[in-house]
Amino acid sequence: MMSVNQSIAPDSAAVVGFGRAGQAMAGYLHGCGAAVRVSDLRSYDELGEAEQALLAEYGADFEGGGHSEEFLAGAELVVVSPGVDCRHPALVQAAKRGSMIAGELAVAASEFSVPVVAVTGTNGKTTVTELIGALLKAAGKKVFVGGNIGTPVGEYLSAKEDYEIVVLEVSSFQLELCGDFTPEVGIVLNITPDHLDRHGSLDQYAAAKMNMFKPGADTRGVINGEDEWCQRFPERVADMNWARFGHDTDNDAAIDGSRIVMRNGQTYELGGSALDNLSGRLNAGAALLGVSPFDLDPSSVQQALMEFKPGAHRLQEVGCIEGVVYINDSKATNTGAVINAIEQLGDGIILIAGGRDKGDDYRLLRPSVASHVKRLILIGEAASAIGTLLGDLAPVDYSDSLENAVVQAASVGEPGDTVLLAPACASFDMFDNYLQRGDCFAEAVRALRKVPGAGPEAGQ
């Protein structure tokens, strides 16, 4: 696969995958003067009216129902959307014919004129990306926040706004084809099993994350000082400015109770904030190291830390009914995230899990489930596999829908219990995305308030 290492101005370009990222990239390439063609798994009739209008606006040829060698033939540049496996036979053949195969980060690599902070990792990257954006904005910086969350990179490229700093959440899928993309600050929060159905092994998954660290590049690498896989990164790229966050006092951002103590002696307090928990402190340490090169006013940083609220679907309390708390952690799509949620919530958990399998090893959940989960309610395609591996640790119920799973959980919950949606799986067997899954859970909890016997706390 080739790298994009100069300004993009091809005569012809193909965009493979027409989700939001693909739409933004098609618009950018059209604006560069390229003749654009678009390939998507959906047929033309399955596209929304807005998507069809974009194709017409760009004058783009369209191929639906899959990606073919014939359709991509002749495109100088083929931009692969993150959700498309770069090993697809049509892409392999296009590369053999001489097409440049690139992801959106490779296209953007030479177009960034301001510092870029890139955040990756298995869990926590959305929170840390948003937190870094909040810290920079509180200091008066004009910041673009996007990438794998919110606004795609292609929209940044097409924008005319004069940003001072770019903050991107970047996934392993994006980093597979990131080309010459090299951020000024690259943050890796943790490496635990995820997307192994695509990457094949944990080593290959970690290698994809490593792609943003180039030997000899002037990048500040920020890594988790407690993560085994992160500790291997400096061994592979030794000539880089590495900084670590964690609980040990020798870390560059050291967690001391509810405080983060920086190497320069500056201390930030998290007590009373939404970040004052195990994952929140680690996330705050990573974010503080991420913004440290920009010489921000400590008082504005402290205020932003105290005011920050993580987004929805991440350990989000959606209700308390008859003493049972309902927590939406729909974004917990891998075992590492589920373990983190269980360990933070403690005992008396009724765990709703399941969905589309991503190649994760559910046996990794056994210690946490054995210690803290009193009942399992399993849904989706992976329900049977999870039940087989964990069913000896707690009673198991199976449900044909998330709504029914919530009703089942309510029927067995007792005051002091926590009903936790933490699927350890992708959502695509039953939902469009984890957002829709989380919203469904929250709506199902709200529906419980209409059930006779749901006490006065039900409206909270």
Q: Where are the domains of the chain?
A: 12-102, 107-307, 316-449
The mean pLDDT of 428-438, rounded to a whole number, is: 94
- Identity of residue 147: G
pLDDT category of residue 186 using cuts at 50, 70 and 90 = very high
SS3 302: helix
Q: What is the four-CA torsion angle of 174, 179, 180, 185, rounded to 10 degrees?
A: 20
Structure tokens at 325: 């708390």
CATH architecture of 12-102: 3-Layer(aba) Sandwich (3.40)
CATH level 3 topology of 316-449? Protein-Tyrosine Phosphatase; Chain A (3.90.190)
Query: In a 10 Å sphere around its CB, with 0-12 CB exposed, 13-18 middle and 19+ buried, how is residue 309 labelled?
Result: exposed
The mean pLDDT of 210-220, rounded to a whole number, is: 91
The mean pLDDT of 108-125, rounded to a whole number, is: 93
Contact 132, 117 (CB under 8 A): yes
**CATH code of the domain made up of 107-307:** 3.40.1190.10
pLDDT category of residue 460 using cuts at 50, 70 and 90 = very low
Contact 15, 79 (CB under 8 A): yes
Q: Which of 165, 120, 186 is nearest to 294 (CA)?
A: 165
- Supply φ then ψ for residue 418, to 5 degrees: -125, 125
How much is the pLDDT for 196?
67
Structure tokens at 94: 């296009």
Euclidean distance between CA atoms 249 and 21, whole angstroms: 41
**How far are the Cα atoms of 116, 417, 448, 454 from residue 322, in angstroms, in the given order?**
48, 10, 10, 6
pLDDT in tens, 244-260: 999 999 999 999 999 99
- Answer yes or no: is pLDDT of 456 > 50: no
Contact 16, 67 (CB under 8 A): yes
pLDDT category of residue 1 using cuts at 50, 70 and 90 = very low
pLDDT category of residue 287 using cuts at 50, 70 and 90 = very high
Structure tokens at 38: 């678009």
Euclidean distance between CA atoms 439 and 368, whole angstroms: 26
Least confident window among 5-14, 227-236, 348-357, 413-422: 5-14
